[in-house]
């Protein structure tokens, strides 16, 4: 049950990363223009989003943008990697504990006195060691095909976040110089005023070119990054499924062999409880364990 629960969690976590971050059709994964920014065609705001995303209402843009930023995908990827590590650690702990139990049973004095019981425990110990071996193989496979690719995918985000940060820094400088140009444009066109206007426009030109280059790169490449995540994660998800299928197939064989070696028909819970209570009653009837 522990492994099955962890497996269900792994599948749900994969779905959260691969399926729950669709490429938006109505918003952008990048920061919105700040309130009060100018909306004329030469200002930065109109360059922040693809043309088909412009004109979206402020409320819907804000809510969708928060879900589409790379930060959310980065957080989900880190969470999935952590969950997978917890799952594999739990798997190993479970099989190691099972081997410890079977080993302790073998050293129990009962095995020296009862040959039939020794045979059952020996078969159980063999099954637990086989399970532990296959479990280790499964965990190694998941580490190689799932956890390591997740780590590599996560290593992309620092550079991605830096590109967004640099675009935002250039955007702020662009806005500052744009406001400066518009300030001089609104003043009287005198000699000194025209000189200041010309100087301001010259200062703005390289900053605008720098911003447009950075912004265009993000507008073109960020959708590609989002749309490629399914192609990247799908092989890992398939590898996870195959590893689990192989493991549980082997477990079916192992425990089937164990059941055959035990050779005793399975008791219902009611019969087992009744049998145990009967034997416990016999023990309690002994004078050495009687009530004082």
pLDDT digits 0-9 by tens, 183-231 = 988 887 778 888 888 999 999 999 999 999 999 999 888 888 888 888 8
Q: Name the token pair of 291.
A: 């009530």
> pTM of the prediction?
0.67
Q: What is the pLDDT of residue 29?
A: 39
Q: Which residues, 6 or more positions from 235, have their beta carbon under 8 angstroms from its beta carbon?
A: 145, 149
CA distance 34 to 175: 10
Q: How large is the angle between the packed helices 2-18 and 191-262, nearest 10 degrees?
A: 160
Cβ atoms of residues 150 and 6 within 8 Å: no
Q: What is the mean pLDDT of the chain?
A: 79
pLDDT at 232 over 70: yes
Kindly indicate the confidence band of residue 268, based on its pLDDT and cuts at 50, 70 and 90: confident
**In 20-69, where does DSSP find H-type helix?**
58-68
Kindly indicate the confidence band of residue 47, based on its pLDDT and cuts at 50, 70 and 90: low
Q: What is the pLDDT of residue 46?
A: 52
Which of 4-18, 192-206, 236-250, 268-282 has the highest average model confidence (pLDDT)? 236-250
pLDDT digits 0-9 by tens, 48-104 = 544 433 444 343 334 444 335 678 889 999 999 999 999 999 999 999 999 999 999
CA distance 151 to 78: 8
CA distance 87 to 209: 49
């Amino acid at each position: 049950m522990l492994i099955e629960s962890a497996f269900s969690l792994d599948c749900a976590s994969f779905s959260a990363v691969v399926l729950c971050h669709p490429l938006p059709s109505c918003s952008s994964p990048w920061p919105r223009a700040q309130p009060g920014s100018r909306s004329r065609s030469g200002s930065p705001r109109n360059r922040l989003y693809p043309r088909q995303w412009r004109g979206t209402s402020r409320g819907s843009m804000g809510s969708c943008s928060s879900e589409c930023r790379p930060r959310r995908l980065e957080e989900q990827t880190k969470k999935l990697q952590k969950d997978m590590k917890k799952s594999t650690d739990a798997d190993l702990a479970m099989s190691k504990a099972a081997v410890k139990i079977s080993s302790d049973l073998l050293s129990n004095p009962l095995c020296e006195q009862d040959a039939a019981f020794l045979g059952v425990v020996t078969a159980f110990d063999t099954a637990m060691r086989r399970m532990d071996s296959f479990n280790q193989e499964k965990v190694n496979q998941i580490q190689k095909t799932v956890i390591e690719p997740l780590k590599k995918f996560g290593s992309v985000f620092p550079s991605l976040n830096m590109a967004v940060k640099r675009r935002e820094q250039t955007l702020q400088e662009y806005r500052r110089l744009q406001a400066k140009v518009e300030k001089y444009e609104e003043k009287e066109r005198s000699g000194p005023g025209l000189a200041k206007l010309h100087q301001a426009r010259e200062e703005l030109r390289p900053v605008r070119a720098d911003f447009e280059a950075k912004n265009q790169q993000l507008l073109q490449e960020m959708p590609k990054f989002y749309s490629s995540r399914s192609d990247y994660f799908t092989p890992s998800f398939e590898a996870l499924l195959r590893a689990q299928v192989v493991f549980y197939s082997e477990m079916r064989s192992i425990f089937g062999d164990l059941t055959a070696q035990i050779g005793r028909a399975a008791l219902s819970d009611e019969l087992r409880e009744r049998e145990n209570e009967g034997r416990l009653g016999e023990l309690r009837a002994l004078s050495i364990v009687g009530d004082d």
